[in-house]
Amino acid sequence: MTTPRFDTLPLAAPLQQALQEQGYTIPTPVQAQAIPLLLQGRDLLGCAQTGTGKTASFSLPILHAIHERPRAPKPKGTRALVLAPTRELALQVAKSFTTYGKNVRFRQTLIYGGVGQNPQIAAMRGGVDVLVATPGRLLDLIDQRCVDLSTVEFFVLDEVDRMLDMGFLRDVKRIVAMLPEKRQSLFFSATLAPNIVQLAVSILRNPARVSIQPETTTAERIEQRVAFVDRDHKRPLLELLLAEQANAKEAKLTMVFSRTKHGANKLAKSLSMAGFAADAIHGNKSQAQREKTLERFRMGLTPVLVATDVAARGVDVKDVGLVVNYDLPNEPEAYVHRIGRTGRAGASGLSVSFCANDELDYLREIEKIIRMEVPRWKDHEWYLPELEEHYRRGGRGSVPQGQRQGGQGRSGGGQGRQGRQGQGQGGQPRQGGHSSSGRQGGYGRVAAVGGAPQRDGGGNRSRGRR
Protein backbone atom coordinates (compact mmCIF):
# COMPACT_ATOMS: atom_id res chain seq x y z
CA MET A 1 0.00 0.00 0.00
CA THR A 2 1.42 3.37 -0.93
CA THR A 3 1.21 6.06 1.72
CA PRO A 4 -1.34 8.71 0.74
CA ARG A 5 -0.59 12.39 1.01
CA PHE A 6 -2.61 14.45 3.46
CA ASP A 7 -4.26 16.28 0.58
CA THR A 8 -5.79 13.02 -0.66
CA LEU A 9 -7.51 12.43 2.71
CA PRO A 10 -11.05 13.82 3.02
CA LEU A 11 -10.12 16.33 5.71
CA ALA A 12 -11.81 19.76 5.67
CA ALA A 13 -10.03 22.63 3.93
CA PRO A 14 -9.12 24.58 7.12
CA LEU A 15 -7.32 21.48 8.40
CA GLN A 16 -5.52 20.92 5.11
CA GLN A 17 -4.40 24.51 5.25
CA ALA A 18 -3.05 24.16 8.81
CA LEU A 19 -1.19 20.99 7.81
CA GLN A 20 0.36 22.79 4.88
CA GLU A 21 1.43 25.61 7.15
CA GLN A 22 3.06 23.05 9.45
CA GLY A 23 4.86 21.61 6.44
CA TYR A 24 3.24 18.18 6.87
CA THR A 25 2.55 16.52 3.54
CA ILE A 26 2.85 12.80 4.25
CA PRO A 27 0.87 11.24 7.09
CA THR A 28 2.85 9.06 9.48
CA PRO A 29 1.86 5.34 9.39
CA VAL A 30 -0.50 5.66 12.35
CA GLN A 31 -2.13 8.71 10.77
CA ALA A 32 -2.46 7.02 7.37
CA GLN A 33 -4.18 4.05 8.98
CA ALA A 34 -6.28 5.74 11.65
CA ILE A 35 -7.59 8.93 10.03
CA PRO A 36 -9.75 7.29 7.29
CA LEU A 37 -11.25 4.86 9.85
CA LEU A 38 -11.99 7.63 12.32
CA LEU A 39 -13.60 9.78 9.63
CA GLN A 40 -16.00 6.87 9.06
CA GLY A 41 -16.98 7.04 12.73
CA ARG A 42 -15.25 3.81 13.83
CA ASP A 43 -13.96 3.18 17.34
CA LEU A 44 -10.22 2.65 17.39
CA LEU A 45 -7.73 0.61 19.36
CA GLY A 46 -4.31 2.04 18.57
CA CYS A 47 -1.05 0.50 19.69
CA ALA A 48 1.35 3.38 19.21
CA GLN A 49 3.78 5.31 21.35
CA THR A 50 4.54 9.02 21.37
CA GLY A 51 6.67 10.19 18.49
CA THR A 52 4.59 8.28 15.95
CA GLY A 53 2.26 11.21 15.22
CA LYS A 54 -0.67 9.67 17.10
CA THR A 55 -1.88 13.02 18.47
CA ALA A 56 -2.67 14.32 15.00
CA SER A 57 -4.25 10.98 14.13
CA PHE A 58 -7.03 11.64 16.62
CA SER A 59 -7.14 15.43 16.76
CA LEU A 60 -7.57 15.89 13.00
CA PRO A 61 -10.71 13.69 12.66
CA ILE A 62 -12.23 15.28 15.80
CA LEU A 63 -11.59 18.79 14.49
CA HIS A 64 -12.99 17.72 11.12
CA ALA A 65 -16.25 16.60 12.76
CA ILE A 66 -16.47 19.81 14.83
CA HIS A 67 -15.96 21.89 11.70
CA GLU A 68 -18.45 19.92 9.60
CA ARG A 69 -21.12 19.70 12.28
CA PRO A 70 -20.82 22.86 14.40
CA ARG A 71 -23.02 22.82 17.47
CA ALA A 72 -23.25 25.13 20.49
CA PRO A 73 -21.78 23.22 23.43
CA LYS A 74 -23.96 22.62 26.47
CA PRO A 75 -22.99 24.69 29.54
CA LYS A 76 -20.33 22.78 31.52
CA GLY A 77 -20.31 20.20 28.74
CA THR A 78 -17.85 19.18 26.04
CA ARG A 79 -18.17 17.49 22.65
CA ALA A 80 -14.76 15.84 22.80
CA LEU A 81 -13.01 14.56 25.92
CA VAL A 82 -9.33 13.56 25.78
CA LEU A 83 -7.95 11.91 28.91
CA ALA A 84 -4.18 12.02 29.36
CA PRO A 85 -2.11 10.62 32.25
CA THR A 86 0.01 13.71 32.95
CA ARG A 87 -0.22 17.47 32.80
CA GLU A 88 2.64 17.60 30.32
CA LEU A 89 0.92 15.25 27.93
CA ALA A 90 -2.39 17.10 28.36
CA LEU A 91 -0.67 20.39 27.49
CA GLN A 92 0.98 18.78 24.50
CA VAL A 93 -2.31 17.39 23.20
CA ALA A 94 -4.07 20.72 23.67
CA LYS A 95 -1.26 22.43 21.80
CA SER A 96 -1.76 20.04 18.88
CA PHE A 97 -5.48 20.82 18.77
CA THR A 98 -4.61 24.52 18.69
CA THR A 99 -2.07 24.03 15.91
CA TYR A 100 -4.18 21.81 13.68
CA GLY A 101 -7.40 23.68 14.48
CA LYS A 102 -6.03 27.18 14.01
CA ASN A 103 -8.44 27.79 11.09
CA VAL A 104 -11.43 26.06 12.72
CA ARG A 105 -13.87 27.80 15.07
CA PHE A 106 -13.83 25.77 18.27
CA ARG A 107 -13.42 26.20 21.99
CA GLN A 108 -10.95 24.19 23.96
CA THR A 109 -9.84 24.03 27.56
CA LEU A 110 -7.58 22.04 29.84
CA ILE A 111 -8.22 20.53 33.24
CA TYR A 112 -5.34 19.21 35.34
CA GLY A 113 -4.22 19.21 38.94
CA GLY A 114 -1.45 21.16 40.64
CA VAL A 115 -2.90 24.56 39.76
CA GLY A 116 -5.91 26.53 41.01
CA GLN A 117 -9.26 25.12 39.93
CA ASN A 118 -11.23 28.39 39.57
CA PRO A 119 -10.00 29.36 36.08
CA GLN A 120 -10.80 25.81 34.94
CA ILE A 121 -14.32 26.02 36.39
CA ALA A 122 -14.82 29.40 34.72
CA ALA A 123 -13.60 28.07 31.37
CA MET A 124 -16.10 25.21 31.52
CA ARG A 125 -19.07 27.39 32.43
CA GLY A 126 -20.22 28.00 28.87
CA GLY A 127 -19.15 24.56 27.66
CA VAL A 128 -16.39 23.72 25.18
CA ASP A 129 -15.84 21.67 22.03
CA VAL A 130 -12.66 20.00 23.23
CA LEU A 131 -11.66 19.24 26.81
CA VAL A 132 -8.24 17.75 27.50
CA ALA A 133 -7.97 16.51 31.08
CA THR A 134 -6.09 14.39 33.56
CA PRO A 135 -8.40 11.98 35.42
CA GLY A 136 -8.05 13.11 39.06
CA ARG A 137 -8.86 16.81 38.68
CA LEU A 138 -11.56 16.05 36.12
CA LEU A 139 -13.36 13.86 38.67
CA ASP A 140 -12.96 16.57 41.31
CA LEU A 141 -14.70 19.07 39.09
CA ILE A 142 -17.39 16.59 38.06
CA ASP A 143 -18.07 15.88 41.75
CA GLN A 144 -18.43 19.62 42.29
CA ARG A 145 -20.90 19.72 39.38
CA CYS A 146 -18.67 22.03 37.36
CA VAL A 147 -18.24 19.60 34.45
CA ASP A 148 -20.92 17.55 32.75
CA LEU A 149 -19.98 14.63 30.50
CA SER A 150 -23.47 13.86 29.18
CA THR A 151 -22.84 15.43 25.76
CA VAL A 152 -19.50 13.81 24.93
CA GLU A 153 -19.45 12.63 21.30
CA PHE A 154 -15.73 11.76 21.06
CA PHE A 155 -13.81 10.11 23.86
CA VAL A 156 -10.04 9.63 23.61
CA LEU A 157 -7.95 7.73 26.14
CA ASP A 158 -4.33 8.55 25.46
CA GLU A 159 -1.32 6.59 26.75
CA VAL A 160 -3.49 4.10 28.59
CA ASP A 161 -0.52 1.95 29.63
CA ARG A 162 0.89 4.89 31.53
CA MET A 163 -2.52 5.78 32.90
CA LEU A 164 -2.77 2.33 34.46
CA ASP A 165 0.83 2.41 35.69
CA MET A 166 -0.06 5.59 37.53
CA GLY A 167 -3.01 3.95 39.24
CA PHE A 168 -5.79 5.70 37.30
CA LEU A 169 -7.79 2.56 36.46
CA ARG A 170 -10.61 3.26 38.92
CA ASP A 171 -10.80 6.91 37.92
CA VAL A 172 -10.94 6.00 34.25
CA LYS A 173 -13.73 3.50 34.88
CA ARG A 174 -15.71 6.10 36.83
CA ILE A 175 -15.34 8.59 34.02
CA VAL A 176 -16.32 6.06 31.33
CA ALA A 177 -19.47 5.22 33.31
CA MET A 178 -20.61 8.86 32.98
CA LEU A 179 -20.27 9.00 29.20
CA PRO A 180 -23.26 8.66 26.90
CA GLU A 181 -23.70 5.26 25.26
CA LYS A 182 -23.63 6.79 21.81
CA ARG A 183 -20.13 8.08 21.25
CA GLN A 184 -16.98 7.42 19.24
CA SER A 185 -14.16 6.08 21.43
CA LEU A 186 -10.45 6.03 20.70
CA PHE A 187 -7.96 4.17 22.81
CA PHE A 188 -4.17 4.55 22.51
CA SER A 189 -1.52 2.60 24.34
CA ALA A 190 2.16 1.88 23.70
CA THR A 191 1.65 -1.72 24.82
CA LEU A 192 -1.32 -4.04 24.82
CA ALA A 193 -0.88 -6.12 27.96
CA PRO A 194 -3.91 -8.28 28.87
CA ASN A 195 -5.26 -5.82 31.47
CA ILE A 196 -5.11 -3.04 28.88
CA VAL A 197 -6.94 -5.09 26.26
CA GLN A 198 -9.55 -5.96 28.89
CA LEU A 199 -10.16 -2.27 29.57
CA ALA A 200 -10.28 -1.54 25.83
CA VAL A 201 -12.91 -4.22 25.28
CA SER A 202 -15.09 -2.67 27.99
CA ILE A 203 -14.93 0.77 26.37
CA LEU A 204 -14.80 0.25 22.61
CA ARG A 205 -17.44 -1.02 20.23
CA ASN A 206 -16.25 -3.12 17.32
CA PRO A 207 -13.01 -1.16 17.14
CA ALA A 208 -10.69 -0.98 14.17
CA ARG A 209 -7.16 -1.86 15.21
CA VAL A 210 -4.05 0.04 14.28
CA SER A 211 -0.68 -1.13 15.44
CA ILE A 212 2.60 0.65 15.03
CA GLN A 213 5.23 -1.60 16.51
CA PRO A 214 7.62 0.16 18.85
CA GLU A 215 10.56 -1.65 17.37
CA THR A 216 10.10 0.14 14.05
CA THR A 217 10.53 3.47 15.74
CA THR A 218 13.24 2.38 18.13
CA ALA A 219 15.34 0.56 15.59
CA GLU A 220 15.03 2.85 12.64
CA ARG A 221 15.56 6.33 13.88
CA ILE A 222 17.24 5.93 17.21
CA GLU A 223 20.71 4.55 17.58
CA GLN A 224 20.95 2.68 20.84
CA ARG A 225 23.97 1.76 22.95
CA VAL A 226 24.39 0.19 26.34
CA ALA A 227 27.49 0.70 28.48
CA PHE A 228 28.31 -1.90 31.14
CA VAL A 229 29.84 0.14 33.93
CA ASP A 230 30.47 0.27 37.62
CA ARG A 231 27.88 2.40 39.43
CA ASP A 232 30.61 4.84 40.54
CA HIS A 233 31.68 5.39 36.96
CA LYS A 234 28.31 6.44 35.61
CA ARG A 235 29.01 10.02 36.55
CA PRO A 236 32.32 10.43 34.64
CA LEU A 237 30.86 8.57 31.69
CA LEU A 238 27.92 10.97 31.64
CA GLU A 239 30.29 13.92 31.76
CA LEU A 240 32.17 12.47 28.84
CA LEU A 241 28.98 12.26 26.80
CA LEU A 242 27.86 15.75 27.78
CA ALA A 243 31.22 17.22 26.91
CA GLU A 244 31.04 15.53 23.52
CA GLN A 245 27.58 16.97 22.98
CA ALA A 246 28.67 20.44 24.01
CA ASN A 247 31.63 20.35 21.67
CA ALA A 248 29.75 18.89 18.73
CA LYS A 249 29.30 21.09 15.70
CA GLU A 250 25.60 20.62 15.96
CA ALA A 251 24.91 21.03 19.66
CA LYS A 252 21.70 19.34 20.64
CA LEU A 253 19.71 18.90 23.79
CA THR A 254 20.24 15.99 26.16
CA MET A 255 17.72 14.26 28.40
CA VAL A 256 19.13 12.22 31.26
CA PHE A 257 16.81 9.78 33.02
CA SER A 258 17.05 9.01 36.68
CA ARG A 259 14.87 6.52 38.55
CA THR A 260 14.10 8.77 41.51
CA LYS A 261 13.14 12.39 42.05
CA HIS A 262 15.87 12.79 44.61
CA GLY A 263 18.41 11.28 42.22
CA ALA A 264 17.28 13.64 39.45
CA ASN A 265 17.69 16.70 41.67
CA LYS A 266 21.05 15.63 42.97
CA LEU A 267 22.40 14.84 39.53
CA ALA A 268 21.17 18.11 37.99
CA LYS A 269 22.72 20.06 40.83
CA SER A 270 26.08 18.35 40.63
CA LEU A 271 26.18 18.62 36.82
CA SER A 272 25.52 22.35 37.14
CA MET A 273 28.33 22.63 39.67
CA ALA A 274 30.59 20.82 37.22
CA GLY A 275 29.76 23.45 34.62
CA PHE A 276 27.04 21.74 32.59
CA ALA A 277 23.91 23.87 32.47
CA ALA A 278 21.40 21.33 33.77
CA ASP A 279 18.01 21.33 35.42
CA ALA A 280 15.68 18.65 36.78
CA ILE A 281 12.02 17.96 36.06
CA HIS A 282 9.97 15.68 38.28
CA GLY A 283 6.62 15.32 39.96
CA ASN A 284 7.55 17.28 43.09
CA LYS A 285 7.86 20.51 41.18
CA SER A 286 4.89 22.79 40.69
CA GLN A 287 3.28 23.02 37.29
CA ALA A 288 4.67 26.52 36.80
CA GLN A 289 8.20 25.37 37.68
CA ARG A 290 7.94 22.42 35.31
CA GLU A 291 6.78 24.59 32.45
CA LYS A 292 9.54 27.10 33.06
CA THR A 293 12.15 24.34 33.20
CA LEU A 294 10.85 22.85 29.96
CA GLU A 295 10.82 26.20 28.22
CA ARG A 296 14.43 26.89 29.21
CA PHE A 297 15.37 23.43 27.99
CA ARG A 298 13.54 23.88 24.71
CA MET A 299 15.32 27.18 24.14
CA GLY A 300 18.69 25.58 24.86
CA LEU A 301 19.39 27.75 27.91
CA THR A 302 19.72 24.63 30.06
CA PRO A 303 20.52 22.02 27.41
CA VAL A 304 20.67 19.15 29.88
CA LEU A 305 17.41 18.03 31.45
CA VAL A 306 17.45 15.36 34.15
CA ALA A 307 14.02 13.74 34.33
CA THR A 308 12.06 10.99 35.99
CA ASP A 309 9.74 8.84 33.88
CA VAL A 310 6.47 10.37 34.97
CA ALA A 311 7.61 13.96 34.44
CA ALA A 312 8.99 13.16 31.01
CA ARG A 313 5.69 11.93 29.62
CA GLY A 314 4.48 14.18 26.90
CA VAL A 315 7.72 16.13 26.68
CA ASP A 316 7.95 16.77 22.97
CA VAL A 317 11.10 18.67 22.18
CA LYS A 318 12.36 18.27 18.66
CA ASP A 319 16.05 18.97 19.25
CA VAL A 320 16.80 16.23 21.76
CA GLY A 321 19.81 14.53 20.15
CA LEU A 322 20.82 12.35 23.06
CA VAL A 323 18.96 10.41 25.72
CA VAL A 324 21.02 8.96 28.56
CA ASN A 325 19.52 6.30 30.79
CA TYR A 326 21.61 7.08 33.83
CA ASP A 327 19.57 4.45 35.65
CA LEU A 328 17.82 1.75 33.68
CA PRO A 329 14.06 1.81 34.22
CA ASN A 330 12.56 -1.05 36.20
CA GLU A 331 9.64 -1.18 33.77
CA PRO A 332 10.85 -2.16 30.31
CA GLU A 333 8.14 -0.14 28.52
CA ALA A 334 9.57 3.01 30.10
CA TYR A 335 12.76 2.38 28.12
CA VAL A 336 10.85 2.67 24.86
CA HIS A 337 9.18 5.86 26.05
CA ARG A 338 12.45 7.33 27.24
CA ILE A 339 14.43 6.75 24.10
CA GLY A 340 11.45 8.03 22.11
CA ARG A 341 12.27 11.50 23.51
CA THR A 342 14.95 11.64 20.84
CA GLY A 343 14.41 10.95 17.17
CA ARG A 344 11.24 13.09 17.20
CA ALA A 345 9.48 14.14 14.03
CA GLY A 346 11.67 12.10 11.74
CA ALA A 347 14.99 13.34 13.18
CA SER A 348 17.65 10.86 14.19
CA GLY A 349 18.83 10.41 17.74
CA LEU A 350 21.17 8.54 20.01
CA SER A 351 20.33 6.77 23.24
CA VAL A 352 22.99 5.56 25.67
CA SER A 353 22.03 3.39 28.64
CA PHE A 354 24.26 2.77 31.63
CA CYS A 355 23.96 -0.70 33.07
CA ALA A 356 25.57 -1.36 36.45
CA ASN A 357 25.76 -4.73 38.11
CA ASP A 358 22.44 -4.34 39.92
CA GLU A 359 20.60 -3.52 36.69
CA LEU A 360 21.21 -6.65 34.62
CA ASP A 361 17.67 -7.92 35.10
CA TYR A 362 16.26 -4.61 33.89
CA LEU A 363 18.36 -4.81 30.73
CA ARG A 364 17.20 -8.36 30.13
CA GLU A 365 13.54 -7.28 30.32
CA ILE A 366 14.20 -4.36 27.97
CA GLU A 367 15.91 -6.54 25.36
CA LYS A 368 12.98 -8.92 25.58
CA ILE A 369 10.37 -6.31 24.74
CA ILE A 370 12.33 -4.52 22.04
CA ARG A 371 13.26 -7.93 20.66
CA MET A 372 16.85 -7.02 19.97
CA GLU A 373 20.18 -6.82 21.69
CA VAL A 374 21.08 -3.24 22.45
CA PRO A 375 24.47 -2.73 20.79
CA ARG A 376 27.29 -2.58 23.34
CA TRP A 377 29.40 0.53 23.79
CA LYS A 378 32.88 -0.61 24.73
CA ASP A 379 35.11 2.11 23.47
CA HIS A 380 35.42 4.05 26.69
CA GLU A 381 37.58 4.00 29.72
CA TRP A 382 35.02 2.60 32.14
CA TYR A 383 33.82 -0.38 30.15
CA LEU A 384 33.41 -3.46 32.40
CA PRO A 385 33.89 -6.52 30.17
CA GLU A 386 33.39 -8.92 33.08
CA LEU A 387 29.96 -7.47 33.73
CA GLU A 388 29.01 -7.89 30.10
CA GLU A 389 30.30 -11.43 30.18
CA HIS A 390 28.29 -12.15 33.30
CA TYR A 391 25.20 -10.78 31.57
CA ARG A 392 25.93 -12.77 28.40
CA ARG A 393 26.06 -15.97 30.42
CA GLY A 394 22.59 -15.22 31.73
CA GLY A 395 23.84 -14.03 35.10
CA ARG A 396 21.34 -12.18 37.22
CA GLY A 397 21.90 -9.56 39.86
CA SER A 398 25.46 -8.74 40.74
CA VAL A 399 28.70 -10.09 39.36
CA PRO A 400 30.08 -12.59 41.87
CA GLN A 401 32.87 -10.98 43.90
CA GLY A 402 35.65 -13.23 42.62
CA GLN A 403 35.02 -12.20 39.03
CA ARG A 404 34.99 -8.47 39.62
CA GLN A 405 38.08 -6.67 38.51
CA GLY A 406 36.86 -3.78 36.43
CA GLY A 407 35.99 -0.46 37.91
CA GLN A 408 38.45 -0.90 40.75
CA GLY A 409 41.46 1.35 40.96
CA ARG A 410 40.75 2.97 37.69
CA SER A 411 40.78 6.59 36.94
CA GLY A 412 39.74 7.97 40.27
CA GLY A 413 36.02 8.08 39.69
CA GLY A 414 35.65 10.49 36.90
CA GLN A 415 38.89 12.24 36.24
CA GLY A 416 39.81 9.93 33.42
CA ARG A 417 41.50 11.44 30.42
CA GLN A 418 38.39 11.57 28.29
CA GLY A 419 36.19 12.55 31.19
CA ARG A 420 37.99 15.85 31.50
CA GLN A 421 37.75 16.82 27.89
CA GLY A 422 35.69 19.82 27.17
CA GLN A 423 35.28 20.91 30.74
CA GLY A 424 34.67 24.57 31.08
CA GLN A 425 36.74 26.94 33.12
CA GLY A 426 35.60 28.40 36.38
CA GLY A 427 32.29 26.59 36.39
CA GLN A 428 30.99 28.38 33.32
CA PRO A 429 28.07 26.53 31.76
CA ARG A 430 29.59 24.76 28.82
CA GLN A 431 26.37 24.38 26.96
CA GLY A 432 24.84 27.71 27.81
CA GLY A 433 25.23 29.12 24.34
CA HIS A 434 23.71 26.08 22.81
CA SER A 435 20.74 27.64 21.11
CA SER A 436 22.81 29.86 18.92
CA SER A 437 25.22 27.21 17.81
CA GLY A 438 25.19 25.83 14.32
CA ARG A 439 23.05 22.81 13.74
CA GLN A 440 24.78 20.67 11.21
CA GLY A 441 27.06 17.72 11.42
CA GLY A 442 26.86 14.70 13.66
CA TYR A 443 27.45 14.09 17.30
CA GLY A 444 31.03 15.26 17.16
CA ARG A 445 33.26 12.84 18.96
CA VAL A 446 30.29 11.06 20.42
CA ALA A 447 29.98 9.56 16.97
CA ALA A 448 32.40 7.02 18.41
CA VAL A 449 29.58 5.81 20.61
CA GLY A 450 27.54 5.03 17.58
CA GLY A 451 30.44 3.45 15.73
CA ALA A 452 30.84 -0.26 15.40
CA PRO A 453 31.56 -1.76 18.79
CA GLN A 454 35.26 -2.53 18.98
CA ARG A 455 36.32 -6.12 18.91
CA ASP A 456 38.84 -5.55 21.60
CA GLY A 457 36.50 -3.78 23.89
CA GLY A 458 38.93 -3.89 26.75
CA GLY A 459 41.52 -1.92 24.81
CA ASN A 460 40.84 1.31 26.60
CA ARG A 461 40.57 -0.16 30.01
CA SER A 462 44.20 -0.36 30.73
CA ARG A 463 44.58 3.35 30.22
CA GLY A 464 42.83 4.22 33.38
CA ARG A 465 44.46 1.53 35.47
CA ARG A 466 47.15 2.10 37.90
204 binds ligand AMP (CB under 6 A): no
Identify residues 303-332 at the interface with ligand AMP (CB under 6 A): 316
Q: Which stretch binds ligand AMP (CB under 6 A): 45-53, 179-187, 268-276, 303-311?
A: 45-53
Q: Closest separation between CB of residue 376 and ligand AMP, Å?
A: 29
Site for ligand AMP (CB under 6 A): which residue of 79, 162, 313, 344? 344
Site for ligand AMP (CB under 6 A): which residue of 56, 160, 166, 238? 56
Give the nearer residue to ligand AMP in terms of CB position, either 348 or 423: 348
Site for ligand AMP (CB under 6 A): which residue of 18, 44, 55, 79? 55
151 binds ligand AMP (CB under 6 A): no
Q: Closest separation between CB of residue 326 and ligand AMP, Å?
A: 24
Identify residues 13-32 at the interface with ligand AMP (CB under 6 A): 24, 26-28, 31
Q: Residue of minimal CB distance from ligand AMP?
A: 55
Q: Closest separation between CB of residue 56 and ligand AMP, Å?
A: 5
53 binds ligand AMP (CB under 6 A): yes
Q: How many CA atoms lie within 13 A of 110 on its CB side?
A: 20
Q: Which stretch binds ligand AMP (CB under 6 A): 53-61, 160-168, 174-182, 411-419?
A: 53-61
How big is the site for ligand AMP, counted in residues (CB under 6 A)?
15
Q: Which residues pair with 237 in a beta bridge?
A: none
Site for ligand AMP (CB under 6 A): which residue of 54, 137, 252, 461? 54
Q: Closest separation between CB of residue 339 and ligand AMP, Å?
A: 14
Give the nearer residue to ligand AMP in terms of CB position, either 60 or 139: 60
51 binds ligand AMP (CB under 6 A): yes
Question: What HEC string does the chain produce?
Answer: CCCCCHHHCCCCHHHHHHHHHHCCCCCCHHHHHHHHHHHCCCCEEEECCCCCCHHHHHHHHHHHHHHHCCCCCCCCEEEEEEECCCHHHHHHHHHHHHHHCCCCCCCEEEECCCCCCHHHHHHHHCCEEEEEECHHHHHHHHHCCCCECCCCCEEEECCHHHHHHCCCHHHHHHHHHCCCCCCEEEEEECCCCHHHHHHHHHHCCCCEEEECCHHHHHHHHEEEEEEECCHHHHHHHHHHHHHHHHHCCCCCEEEEECCCHHHHHHHHHHHHHCCCCEEEECCCCCHHHHHHHHHHHHCCCCCEEEECHHHHCCCCCCCEEEEEECCCCCCHHHHHHHHCCCCHHHCCEEEEEEECCCCHHHHHHHHHHHCCCCCECCCCCCCCHHHHHHHHCCCCCCCCHHHCCCCCCCCCCCCCHHHHCCCCCCCCCCCCCHHHCCCCCCCHHHHHHHCCCCCCHHHHHHHHCC
Give the nearer residue to ligand AMP in terms of CB position, either 36 or 433: 36
Give the nearer residue to ligand AMP in terms of CB position, either 25 or 403: 25
Q: Closest separation between CB of residue 314 and ligand AMP, Å?
A: 8
159 binds ligand AMP (CB under 6 A): no
Cα(17)–Cα(353) distance, integer angstroms: 41
Identify residues 216-275 at the interface with ligand AMP (CB under 6 A): none
343 binds ligand AMP (CB under 6 A): no
Give the nearer residue to ligand AMP in terms of CB position, either 122 or 345: 345
Residues that bind ligand AMP (CB under 6 A): 24, 26-28, 31, 50-56, 316, 344-345
